[in-house]
Amino acid sequence: MKLSKDAATNRKFWDSFSDEYQGKHAQQLNRKDFVWGVWSLPESDINALGDVRGKQVLELGCGAAQLSIAIAEMGGYATALDNSEKQLEHAARLMAEAGHDFPLLHASADKIPAKKRSFDLVFCDHGAMTYAPTAPTLAEVHRVLKKNGLFVFNMQSPLHEICYDDKAGSVSNTLCKSYFDLDRFVEDKLVYFQYSYGEWVRHFREAGFNIIDLIELQPPEDAESSFDFAPLEWAQHFPCENIWVLQKAK
């Protein structure tokens, strides 16, 4: 399938950055339990996905598929998609090492190569809902979900975005950009998307989803991370990530 301009830009970035990314974060990411976000918060505590046993589960923007491997360990039937061929090479290696064999799809999330109503659950963690065009990706997720299927995704919070000081290269305790100007951003040859909470809600409703939950993540005092995303003290006082739980409405 032909890529959009933004998807092609992001594919080029992640193909060039994949080896460095996986090497830098391997110790944190390469584990068999399912954890969310930059602080590796256990799904067993958050319970955003529910029971995945026996369910068809699609991960969008899987990277090296560590979370899809965790889904397989939990008894789900995983399928993992990523826009980067280099990321999927890491995924194939880790999947073989873990003793699992599930489909790896090389595609952008706004053009999912799957039939209608194929999956009970679609999820991503700082993946497609950050880097793929929002409206067409939501339309594709709606298409491939079964009736009453769930879409669960974690990403940077709007609060983190408006508190991020571009000049300093770090998050701040003050507001640094207009909340109402959140939309499409280009940074370091990488395209990503972020909106106000009201705009997110409108996107979800227009795509045919009901909102089940919004989980704002707060790491514990002893949390550690290999990601330079936010100081731990900041993340304990303000949500730098949030998980949306959506259900296909029709």
Bridge pairing between strands 41-42 and 104-106: unpaired
Contact yes or no for 148/237 (Cβ under 8 A): no
Binned at pLDDT 50, 70 and 90, residue 158 comes out as: very high
Residue 1 pLDDT more than 80?
no
Look at residue 228 and give its three-state secondary structure. coil
pLDDT of residue 114: 98
Q: Which CATH architecture has domain 5-27+34-248?
A: 3-Layer(aba) Sandwich (3.40)
Domain boundaries, the chain: 5-27+34-248
The CA distance from 209 to 215, in Å, is 17
Binned at pLDDT 50, 70 and 90, residue 133 comes out as: very high
pLDDT digits (tens, 9 = 90+) for 109-120: 999 999 999 999
Q: Which residues contact 157 (CB under 8 A, 6 or more apart)?
A: 216, 239, 240, 241, 242
pLDDT of residue 32: 87
Which letter does DSSP use for residue 243 in this model? Answer: E
- φ/ψ (deg, to 5) at 220: -75, 170
